[in-house]
Copies of this chain bind each other. A is one copy, B any other.
Amino acid sequence: MYSRDFLNFRLYDSYIFAQKKKMSAVYHVVSPEKLKELTIAIFSKMGCSESDAHLAADVLISADMRGIDSHGVARLSGYVRLWKAGRINAKASPKLIYENPTTGTFDGDSGLGLTNAAKAMDIAIQKAEQFGSGWIAIKNSNHFGIAAYHAMKALPKNMIGMALTNASPLVSPTYSKERLLGTNPICYAIPAGEESPVIIDMATSAAANGKLEIAQRKGELIPEGWLQDSLGRITNKPEDLKGGGSLLPLGSIKETGSHKGYALSAFVDIFSGVLSGANYGPWVPPFVSFLPLAPDMPGEGIGHFVGAMRVDGFRPLEEFQKNMDQWIRRFKAAETVPGQPEVIIPGEPEARLEKERVVTGIPLIDAVYNDLESLCTEFQITMPDLSFRH
């Protein structure tokens, strides 16, 4: 149990729970390969090129494999709705529009953020190969999936990867009740030697929106510190978000450092939105297609920021790897508070799930499975047998 709720594992918890209770009908355990084929087919039907469809599907399935179920195929119908609303351009021709030896800006041409961020990261890596580091801001984009996918592209090159994105406004800065910031994640992927890499991938809000949705679905209260209502009062009722409330920054309230979570979210918004020429703050386009765009948008689409640095731009790789292994082992061996589980290295639970799901398949909840069926009907695809066989 100890690792299950490290990031956003409630769905997986429920799955384990349901398995124990023999409630397996609620879940569909699917084959990663078959799920990916179907995802490719749906992106292709939207009009994506073959290579874009493969890349976008790879990003989504990677989220499902790593247990970030909220950012996997669960989002697919959302992308389709944005495409139908004309806000995602499936035939985008994104390109680098501004360049310098180690920096630049990539125009996503209103395409999928999934593919834009991955392509921009490839450019950052090329720059890092040549100059030691590379940094690309991306504008005119859309939701980019899990940040870790993009940052982790640096790892096979023995580089440190970074990925940021801004997102639909749901979070209020300290003292305010207005939604001015997204859950704006920060991700760093840091290679190690014999140990698994350290993957930091975290929303800068106290809790991710997905956690509130799950609590609301279950009729549960949420901890104090996640949410304020429309009048700015701390609340433990998840439905107060839909009633006009807002998520609290990491740190929750001023006394325990919410101004720091707000500042980190501001950093992500400025790097992703202002540096690239995308929208920022309250003008970032909403993920859901039924919400209108804000008037007088100052930029284009959603913004991301990705980068890579060669480890051997600082010291010999082997020395770094040896020290990283020691860092990881020392933290893993830390003395715990009585009754608490062992210390978790950032990225450890996701790496473990990624291995597990190769063997166990991916559990999809009914709602997501049904969404896939609807998409098949809509795109006139015969819903394939996705079931996983050992």
User: Taking the nearest CB of chain B, how far is it from the CB of A185, in angstroms?
Assistant: 10
Set B130, B310, B314, B337: member contacting A177, Cβ < 8 A? B337
Once the chains bind, are B338 and A232 in contact (CB under 8 Å)? yes
Query: Which of B202, B256, B341 is A260 in contact with, Cβ under 8 Å?
Result: B202
Residues of B contacting A261 in the complex (Cβ-Cβ under 8 angstroms): 250
Annotate A154-167 by CB proximity to B: 1 below 8 A, 0 otherwise. Answer: 00000010000000
Q: Is A105 an interface residue (CB 8 A)?
A: yes
Q: A174 vs B204: C-alpha distance in the bound complex, in angstroms? A: 17
CA A137 – CA B135 in complex, angstroms?
Answer: 18
Q: Which of the segments A18-26, A63-71, A318-326 contacts the partner chain?
A: A318-326
> For the complex formed by this chain, how many copies does it contain in all?
2
Interface string of A325-343 (1 = CB under 8 A from B): 0110011001111101111
Find residues 253-298 in chain A having any chain B CB closer than 8 Å to their own CB.
Answer: 254-257, 259-264, 266-267, 269-270, 273-277, 280-282, 298
Contacts of A102 in B (CB 8 A): 101-102, 131-133, 313
Residues of B within 8 A of A274 (CB): 320, 323-324, 327
In the complex, chain A residues 99-152 whose Cβ is within 8 Å of any chain B Cβ: 100-105, 130-133, 135, 137
A100 touches B313 (CB 8 A): yes
Cβ–Cβ contact A334 & B256, under 8 A: no
Evaluate contact between B330 and A282: CB separation under 8 angstroms.
yes
Interface residues of A (CB under 8 A from B): 5-6, 98, 100-105, 130-133, 135, 137, 160, 172-178, 180, 186, 188, 190, 198, 200, 202-204, 206-207, 223, 225-226, 228, 231-232, 250-252, 254-257, 259-264, 266-267, 269-270, 273-277, 280-282, 298-299, 309-315, 319-320, 323-324, 326-327, 330-331, 334-338, 340-344, 346
Extra A-B contacts (7), CB below 8 Å, given A131-B131, A200-B267, A266-B331: A102-B313, A103-B313, A178-B334, A180-B331, A200-B263, A275-B320, A298-B323
